[in-house]
Amino acid sequence: MPSITVDGASIPAERGEAMREAMQRAVCRVVAIADLTHDIRRFRLAVESGGPFEFSAGQYARVEFAPGIHREYSMANPPHDSILESHVRRTANGLASSHVFTRLAIGDPVRVEGPLGTSYLRERHPGPILLAAGGSGMAPMFSILESALHLGLTQPIRLYFGVREARDFYGEDQLVTLAARHPNFRYDVVLSAADAAIPRFRMGMLHEAIAADWADLEVAKAYLAGPPMMVEAVSDLLRERGVALRDIHADAYYTEADKARLQPAHGLVAPGLNARSETVRAATAGPGATVITSRLATDEYAHDEFLR
Ligand SMILES: Cc1cc2nc3c(=O)[nH]c(=O)nc-3n(C[C@H](O)[C@H](O)[C@H](O)COP(=O)(O)OP(=O)(O)OC[C@H]3O[C@@H](n4cnc5c(N)ncnc54)[C@H](O)[C@@H]3O)c2cc1C
């Protein structure tokens, strides 16, 4: 059994971890709606039939609001909560996000199908945990974070939350409370497009902040979610800092436009279309682009590399 060294102690490396993958179809009802920022809205769902809806922290589901109006959304709640929570960012002229912002009301029925994705919390990993989120990519990070701390994981857990401006930052109360209760958890909020420095925030791109803090991340596990370009930049940086491909777990939030660009040109199953795929690096455009997806095969990762 290979081992890694953390704080001078030799610890067995990752063995198989349980992942929820049995497909469930739940009929839910909207029980709460709230604006988290000017363009991110949260809704909460109570499962009425087909439940309990079981998933692993970090996974996502196909959420259907009405016939023909469905998209993938990450669960923002930890698996031990019975109420499902999603954070949806408004996309200009977006079918599902417009529905969430203009029509969705308390009491509406919503169908949830899943869980999907393999970017879930590896509970047995003993090394540091690095979480990197952009925008509504914070949703699965809240799930992973709440779950890891609830499980009593004691290794360093470090969150980097990248947003454009201060008004895009959300979840502060939750993060402050968790950091106060758990000395092993710290977070940084990184603004990429702020006009001037603001004391409690860092400035720049997410991957630059991580690069400035960490020279070597060899024994860490990383979970990434958000815009594909951010996921790609952070993933590249982590590889440079020594994180093995099998320790980078990512969901790039591809939109229909991204999928349309990727699929015909590359003949690929874009991440997010396949229940068992996760992106570790994905270029969304351009000749010579490399797309790598990982598929979970029992306990082992098989990395399929598609080159063109
Ligand atoms: C694994 C995964 C998890 C995700 N989790 C979240 C989450 O937790 N929170 C979140 O906010 N988002 C998440 N997303 C993104 C989400 O699924 C939607 O893509 C996003 O909300 C936009 O959906 P929409 O229906 O509002 O916009 P869409 O109607 O899909 O439109 C998006 C853009 O694509 C264009 N477009 C639409 N159809 C086509 C087409 N056929 N060809 C070309 N262009 C087209 C539109 O004009 C628009 O610019 C996730 C995505 C994935 C893959």
Looking from the CA of residue 86, the nearest atom of ligand 1 is 8
pLDDT digits (tens, 9 = 90+) for 94-130: 999 999 999 999 999 999 999 999 999 999 999 999 9
Q: Is residue 7 helix, strand or coil?
A: coil
| Residue at 19: amino acid letter | M
What is the arrangement of strands in the sheet containing 157-163, beginning at the earlier edge strand? 202-203, 185-191, 157-163, 129-134, 221-226, 248-252
For atom 31 of ligand 1, the residue with the nearest CA is 94
Q: What is residue 301's predicted lDDT score, i.e. its pLDDT?
A: 28
The domains of the chain, with CATH numbers, are 24-116 (2.40.30.10), 129-307 (3.40.50.80)
**Angle, to 10 degrees, between the axis of helix 206-213 and the axis of helix 228-240?**
20
Residues with a CB atom less than 6 Å from ligand 1: 60, 71-74, 86-89, 91, 93-97, 117, 136, 139, 251, 253-257, 260, 272
pLDDT digits (tens, 9 = 90+) for 70-100: 999 999 999 999 999 999 999 999 999 999 9
Q: Per the structure block, which two tokens stand in for 119?
A: 């970017």
The Å distance, Cα 15 to ligand 1 centre, comes to 34
The Å distance, Cα 242 to ligand 1 centre, comes to 32
pLDDT digits (tens, 9 = 90+) for 230-253: 999 999 999 999 999 999 999 999
For atom 53 of ligand 1, the residue with the nearest CA is 272
Length of the chain: 308
Burial of 285 (0-12, 13-18, 19+ CB in 10 A): exposed
pTM given for the model: 0.86
Mean pLDDT on 263-280: 42
Three-point CA angle 129, 133, 136, nearest 5°: 140
Three-point CA angle 59, 290, 19, nearest 5°: 20
Residue found by looking up tokens 């402050």 in the block = 176
Asked if residue 163 lies in contact with residue 190, where contact means CB atoms within 8 angstroms, the answer is yes
The Å distance, Cα 255 to ligand 1 centre, comes to 3
> Is residue 85 within a helix (H) or strand (E), and if so which, with residue range?
strand 84-89
For atom 9 of ligand 1, the residue with the nearest CA is 88
